Amino acid sequence: MFRSAPRHRRFALIAQLVAVVLAIGAAVTVVAEERGEPSDRLTAEEAAAPPLVAGPLPESVSPSPSATVAASSSTPPVLKMPGAVPSAGTGRFEYDDRSGPVLGRAGGLRRFRVAVESGSDEDVAAFAQAVQVALTGPGSWVDSGRLRLQQVPGDAPRDFTVYLATARTAGRMCAAGGVDIRVGGRPYTSCRAPGQVIVNLDRWRLSVPHYVSARVPLSVYRTYVVNHEVGHQLGHHHERCPGAGRPAPVMMQQTLFLNGCRANPWPYVDGRRYAGPAL
């Protein structure tokens, strides 16, 4: 018969086992951070902070044919897409050939088509679906009751086109429309040129650092950027944060800053037009 180990030895063994488990957990966290993977662990300040997204979340959509967003609320949100983003494409665009439903209950009808640059590694149908989610709402521009929107095929008469373009092409298209989207000398933001809503592929796939650090889902940024640039097409101008902790107006330049506001992708909040002071 074996005699049990002295009590002090048992305590020492237990302490060693606890240390090993903690070390393994720390190593896993370090590896995830080095790979650029978002950690699910929140600091005490983050856990106690109020939500940084105002209003309802947009429906999750497939960001590309090779990646899906899980619908389960227990799944960590997709903050940005992994992998390299093509900085340049062919300069030619593929147009979605489908017609969409009329969005909105009343008002003038504006038709739009959807296009993705060849060489961007993005699927035009998936992009069109995300645009449809943003413009359908609830909370989109059609909630005014004075506007209707409808996607039409690429060769149909239209009022404007929503493009997804690589950074280089977006920079060139925006500059031709009189808009400089460079930050630090490189094309960074998206823009609206006459008859063109131009979404920068870098932002579509990577969101922006202050959204990512606040763990705001990529789907929220995508809905914001579509509604912001379509808002310009509809004649709306930039606005400022109305106060710390309040929702950011959709026409605020949320790609560049939040200035104490909470991320918000919708022009209508709780059924009412939500705006901030003019910039």
Single-letter code of the amino acid located at 111: R
Residue 58 pLDDT grade (very low, low, confident, very high; cuts 50, 70, 90)? confident
Show me where the domains of the chain are located: 83-239
Residue 70 pLDDT grade (very low, low, confident, very high; cuts 50, 70, 90)? very low
- Taken as a whole, the chain contains a residue count of 279
The 10s digit of each residue's pLDDT in 210-269 is: 999 999 999 999 999 999 999 999 999 999 999 999 999 999 999 999 999 999 999 999
Comparing C-alpha atoms, which of 193, 255, 194, 182 is closest to residue 225?
255
> Residue 16: pLDDT above 80?
no
Tokens of 208: 């922006």
> Residue 147: pLDDT above 90?
yes
Strand blocks (E) in the chain: 93-95, 108-117, 147-151, 160-165, 182-183, 186-187, 191-193, 196-200, 268-269, 272-273
The 10s digit of each residue's pLDDT in 20-52 is: 334 334 333 333 333 333 333 333 333 333 346
Distance CA 214, CA 231 (A): 25
Residue 55 pLDDT grade (very low, low, confident, very high; cuts 50, 70, 90)? low
SS3 74: coil
* pLDDT value of position 31: 31
* pLDDT value of position 131: 98
Single-letter code of the amino acid located at 132: Q
**pTM for the full predicted model:** 0.77
Report the interhelical angle of 124-136 vs 218-233 (nearest 10°).
70
CB of 241 closer than 8 Å to CB of 261: yes
Task: For domain 83-239, give its CATH number from 3.30.70, 3.30.420, 1.10.3470, 3.40.390.
Answer: 3.40.390
